[in-house]
Amino acid sequence: MTHSTKQRLLNAGIPLLLKQGYNNLGIQALLAATGTPKGSFYHHFKDKEDFALQVIDQYMGGVHAGLDACLGDKERPPLARVRHFFEMTQAHYLSEGYMGCLLGGLGQELSGISDLFRSKIDGCFSEIARRMAACLEEARQCGDLPADSDVAQLACLLVDCWEGAALRSRLQRDASPLNAMLDFYFRSAAGR
């Protein structure tokens, strides 16, 4: 069993979980899609739950890479960096046919029945908001946000609004909810 086998399974996991959800994803379908023997799956993962949790970790690796690239781009003002992250994410959604956010989809499906997934996904959203808040603080310091802005609250609100808009864009297979949310949020947050 090579690392490439595990990586191939994880890579296939993201689109399959987006399309089918956790409960409808069969291990056999995953194995067939990747040409992987059953024993190889269980060599790398304890069970389907362990697999899905590791898929979330891989997904978050991509999210963090996007955050690093966008929020670390000092050529742009802080609010433009934050918006660029979401625009980049939106472009990714388009490439997947507006399947939306893996965290949002799994969170809606599993949060009521699995404390483990609820806690994991909530922690992922909290980390995204924490990183956004640091960039929003830069915006506050340079006067692009009102001086009395609670950047932690603004960051949480941004993530929450994005997830709602991502759900609507998935339902409509269209970017309009994402664009409207970003326009409204940045106009409102900046007090303009």
Domains of the chain: which residue ranges?
Answer: 52-189
| pTM, two decimal places | 0.92
Q: What is the 3-state secondary structure (H, E, C) of the chain?
A: CCHHHHHHHHHHHHHHHHHHHHHHCCHHHHHHHHCCCHHHHHHHCCCHHHHHHHHHHHHHHHHHHHHHHHHCCCCCCHHHHHHHHHHHHHHHHHHCCCCCCHHHHHHHHHCCCCHHHHHHHHHHHHHHHHHHHHHHHHHHHCCCCCCCCCHHHHHHHHHHHHHHHHHHHHHHCCCHHHHHHHHHHHHHHCCC
Q: What is the pLDDT of residue 191?
A: 72
Assign residue 176 a region (left: φ > 0; alpha: ψ between -120 and 50; beta: otherwise): alpha
Q: What is the pLDDT of residue 100?
A: 84
CA-CA distance, 93 to 104, in Å (whole number)? 13
Q: What is the pLDDT of residue 96?
A: 81
CA-CA distance, 71 to 67, in Å (whole number)? 5
Q: How far apart, in Å, are the Cα atoms of 89 and each of 3, 49, 50, 95?
A: 28, 26, 26, 10
Q: What is the pLDDT of residue 1?
A: 41
Low-confidence residues in the chain, pLDDT < 50: 1-2
Closest to 70 (Cα-Cα) out of 53, 57, 82: 82
Q: What is the pLDDT of residue 192?
A: 52
Q: What is the pLDDT of residue 103?
A: 95
Q: Please give the CATH topology (third level) of the domain spanning 52-189.
A: Tetracycline Repressor; domain 2 (1.10.357)
